[in-house]
Structure 1
Amino acid sequence: MSTPVNLDNIRQAPKVLLHDHLDGGLRPQTVVELAEAGGYSGLPHDNAEDLGRWFVTAADSGSLERYLETFAHTVGVMQAVEALQRVAAEAAEDLAADGVVYAEVRYAPELFQEGGLGLDQIVQAVQDGFREGERRAEAAGNRIRIGTLLCAMRQNARSTEIANLAVRYRDVGVVGFDIAGPEAGFPPTRNLDAFEFLRQQNAHFTIHAGEAFGLPSIWEAIQHCGAERLGHGVRIVDDIKVDGDGTVHLGRLASYVRDRRIPLEMCPSSNVQTGAADSIESHPIGLLARLRFRVTVNTDNRLMSHCSMSSEFAALNESFGYGWDEFQWFTVNAMKSSFLGFDERLGVINDVIKPGYADLVG
């Protein structure tokens, strides 16, 4: 008999996460303690419970720009090696406890230099933290592997520098590159030198596109920059028309994205907060999954959205009736789309994901 689909049981299911920001997933108590240790005085609350509620409320504005403002506080307390190590280790522990077996966690090294740290110090500290978190998780009976994505902020001019950094550390756990930050006014084509360098180095990259800005952002990310995946990509729905009788018409860009199996790193709760979708129930993930785009489910920022992979799956179950079959499909999609090597991806799918869901289906 199939295991009932509820939050507790979803936590037991193996999950794969491709879009999660390190500085968007801190524990509220950790923010409070790091602020005290580092002399950061800008927090709106010094009580962890109140602070956690504040992050969600402040992020729940319907504006990507307002949403991004909340990161001033998390970034503000992550300006020391010890802080970066702690946040990374706790991220690995928290994800593993939620049943995530593989995650690609991203952050922008350039944001953590206010205290004088060099880029290499920052990357090494985060990698050390992830390895420690993996060890703690395994000791607790939860195995996880973390791959790192290094982000460049699209409003700055350091993308080639960060791309070089990603290539230098790709043999010690940095699996790819990304650009993040506000889309409007900062098209991905501003970073063409970085993407050309990455292609020459046979390195992987994803691009935030189609969240706060529409089809031109997606088109540039794919056709000019060569993105392997789309961070969010929710606005691809603007190139899909559904008639009153249910007949679906895909535009040329939507057809290309589907035909080429370009993965969409969708983050339902976050997309509602930033105004990219009106609600979970009306989120384009329903249509895109039905049309068999390469859809993946992600958290984006677990602190700001007060979410986990399990709670995202539970919300999709409530809104669309998805069950174990759909959850396995999303999870296999994500593992296929990860930046690990082919043999490693196949191993996780065949040895971890499929047996895990087989146990739940019964």
Structure 2
Amino acid sequence: MHLSDNLAADAPGTPAEWIRRAPKAVLHDHLDGGLRPATIVELARACGYTALPTEDPAELALWFRDAADSGSLERYLETFAHTCAVMQTREALHRIAAECAEDLAADGVVYAEVRYAPEQHLEGGLTLDEVVDAVNEGLREGERRTGGRITVRALLTGMRHTRRSLEIAELTVAHRDRGVAGFDIAGGEIGNPPAEHLTAFQHLKRANCHITIHAGEAVGAESVHEAVQVCGAERIGHGVRITDDIAADGTLGHLAAYVRDNRIALEVCPTSNLQTGAALSYEKHPIDELRRLGFTVTLNTDNRLVSGTTMSEEFQHMVDAFGYGPEVFEEFTVAAVEAAFLPLPQRRRIIEEIVRPGYAALSSTSR
């Protein structure tokens, strides 16, 4: 059951009601971390994958959430073996991408960037180009099914522990006018610094392609420094360990000041951060401090299935922890769209025609 199912009965004006209706934007959402449990079960049966811990969709959803609640990024990442196992055909990738767009739109998301690693979907004989085409076509189908209520773009991810990042960077350039918005590096952060993939980043910069990098999650501020100053990241996936460069009295070190002053957006994922040990609790999560200090903060899901979350639930956690109202979430949403890897006219249209009017409509019922 999705959060929106539970929110429908809430009286207008309650946090749950305006959260459900609020326009949302997500920049950090993994395709292989957001499958519907029932879809995993159906696809596993179809392809003969027998290693699922259970074939009951409700129990499977709970299993993913429990496995993710380990406090370890490495253990968290192990859950993706099951989702990637059923994402090896064109038909499966198309279905999963279309459902992803539908599920995000049902939660009020109006713009999304969904990332995945093409190299993880080759076991069924697909080529890298065929993987990207299947996902792009699925996302377009999902947009059509929602009546155009959501715009979705893909980010292609290179894996830190493999040596295919240049190949994926080249793939990003080749597909950037067909639904691919940019490039990412992901995977176990410890022992796998982004600079090991510098050739890929240099290729992207020469081609004027957008870059976001997972950094500052399991490794400290030095990871963020390398991502920004060596590799040219325009956004940082997670980035919460930038607080290592912020003194107890709020004084910013040179790196933190650079990230803040240059409006390098942080793709913050609170629930995921708790699960991987990057934060102790919602109340102690650094998102509020970072916001108050003027950083460009965006709110994200990371992995909706694995973390057992939605954008509406992330909003609710922030309401409960910090008392945020619609004006703060409008701030987060505008920041996300402004940092999106979209042409400026499209970003302006989403903000001026969808986000601003959507939050203005909440003002009379949310207080």
SS of aligned partner of 1:346 = helix
- Report the Cα offset of residue 114 of structure 1: 1.1
Unaligned runs of 5+ in 1: none
Q: Percent identity?
A: 60
CA RMSD in angstroms, aligned pairs only = 1.1
| Distance in 1 of aligned mates of 2:144 and 2:160 | 34
Q: Which residue of 1 aligns with 2:227?
A: 221
| Distance in 2 of aligned mates of 1:41 and 1:132 | 29
Q: Which residue of 2 aligns with 1:260?
A: 262
- Which residue, out of 126, 130, 142, partners 1:121? 130
SS of aligned partner of 1:249 = coil
| Distance in 1 of aligned mates of 2:132 and 2:169 | 13
| Distance in 1 of aligned mates of 2:81 and 2:54 | 14
Which residues in structure 2 correspond to 1:181-220 (within 5 Å)? 181-220=187-226
1:180 maps to a residue whose letter is A
Q: Any idea what the Cα deviations from partners look like across 1:166-198, whole Å, max 9, x if unmatched?
A: 111111110000000011111000011111110
Q: Which residue of 1 aligns with 2:309?
A: 307
Q: Which residue of 2 aligns with 1:290?
A: 292
- Which residue, out of 261, 273, 276, partners 1:274? 276
Q: Which residue of 2 aligns with 1:163?
A: 169
| Distance in 2 of aligned mates of 1:134 and 1:343 | 19
2:215 maps to a residue whose letter is A
| Distance in 1 of aligned mates of 2:198 and 2:121 | 24
Indicate if the aligned counterparts of 1:150 and 1:178 stay in contact, CA closer than 8 A: yes
- Which residue, out of 78, 83, 93, partners 1:69? 78
Q: Any idea what the Cα deviations from partners look like across 1:300-342, whole Å, max 9, x if unmatched?
A: 0000111111110011001000010000000000000000001
SS of aligned partner of 2:232 = coil
Q: Which residue of 1 aligns with 2:146?
A: 137
- Report the Cα offset of residue 9 of structure 1: 2.3
Q: Which residue of 2 aligns with 1:154?
A: 160
1:111 maps to a residue whose letter is Q
Q: Which residue of 1 aligns with 2:94?
A: 85
- Which residue, out of 321, 339, 342, partners 2:323? 321
1:53 maps to a residue whose letter is L
- Report the Cα offset of residue 5 of structure 1: 4.4
| Distance in 1 of aligned mates of 2:146 and 2:80 | 26
Indicate if the aligned counterparts of 1:262 and 1:294 stay in contact, CA closer than 8 A: yes
The TM-score, its normalising length taken from structure 1, stands at 0.96
1:7 maps to a residue whose letter is A
SS of aligned partner of 1:61 = coil
Indicate if the aligned counterparts of 1:5 and 1:324 stay in contact, CA closer than 8 A: no
Q: Any idea what the Cα deviations from partners look like across 1:277-309, whole Å, max 9, x if unmatched?
A: 001110000100111100000000000111111
Which residues in structure 2 correspond to 1:210-249 (within 5 Å)? 210-243=216-249, 248-249=250-251
Unaligned runs of 5+ in 2: 1-11
The TM-score, its normalising length taken from structure 2, stands at 0.95
2:210 maps to a residue whose letter is H
Indicate if the aligned counterparts of 1:265 and 1:295 stay in contact, CA closer than 8 A: yes
Indicate if the aligned counterparts of 1:24 and 1:74 stay in contact, CA closer than 8 A: yes
